[in-house]
Amino acid sequence: MSALRPLLAAAGLGLGIATVREPGPRPAGPAEAAAAASMPARRRLEFLAGRRAARRALRAVGLDCGEIPRSGRLPVFPPGQAASISHSAGIAVAVARAAGPGLPLGCDLELRPLPRAAARLVLREDEEELLDDRDEPFHAGSRPTAAGWTVTELFSAKEAAWKALVGTGTDPGLACLGGAGEGPQGLRHARPTGSLRDLRVGPAEDGLCVVRLRADPARAVRVRVVRVGTGVFGYVLGPSPGLGPSAALG
């Protein structure tokens, strides 16, 4: 993951990384402590790692942030600051942007590849032609520009885009399941009402993709997905070409 810092920095994004195995994880303030106290042990470690990752991402773009409370399941940042958080397999990542607080922001880390059968939960028929027939395990690195997409890549692209378009900034998890429940990897997830199938993904130049809301196609973002080990990391670069920040965010 650390090798991605220059790639994100070139896009004006700061990257923060934290793990649940870091020694002595402590809340940064009373609001974080109160939120963490009500969580099971595993979820508490993920929650605190996500907060550390967000603070590190903000520091990477020159912004200091203390504790990050939450409203419901969503993080609440100080005015002029924002980060998008994602967790997978004990690792938390976050991206932040220094300038243009109205620009879309979203990321998603998936270190456990999704099975091909999960495609029906992520895609509609008009997107299935994007799928590649190769097996899910693949080599790390930037994806080939001419290749098809795996289910994991398309899921991550849509998940990152959802956070940017809906403005959650957090890690609501598997949209395709709708609400809280057991995901394909046995983890519990929750998100605002909606489904990843309510988004439509299409290819763009340089191996990027454009993800837009089906109900409002003017709301669209550009997403890059890169391979990390046997998983992927997706992040939003900005609004789709020809759209201003207000159009992309609604």
pLDDT digits (tens, 9 = 90+) for 234-250: 999 999 875 444 333 33
Per-residue tokens: 134: 């190769």
pLDDT at 186: 30
pLDDT at 133: 65
pLDDT at 162: 95
Phi then psi dihedrals of residue 74, to 5 deg? -100, 140
Q: Residue 146 burial (CB < 10 Å; 0-12/13-18/19+)?
A: exposed
pLDDT at 9: 95
Count of other CB atoms within 10 angstroms of residue 241: 10
Count of other CB atoms within 10 angstroms of residue 242: 8
Q: What is the DSSP string of 191-221?
A: -SS--GGGEEEEE-GGG-EEEEETTEEEEEE
Task: List the chain residues with pLDDT less than 50.
Answer: 136-139, 168-192, 243-250
pLDDT digits (tens, 9 = 90+) for 53-78: 999 999 999 999 999 999 988 899 99
Asked whether 232 and 152 are in contact (CB, 8 A), the reply is yes
Instruction: State how far the Cα of 72 lies from the Cα of 140, in Å rounded to an integer.
Output: 35
Q: Which of 117, 200, 217 is nearest to 157 (CA)?
A: 200
pLDDT at 189: 38
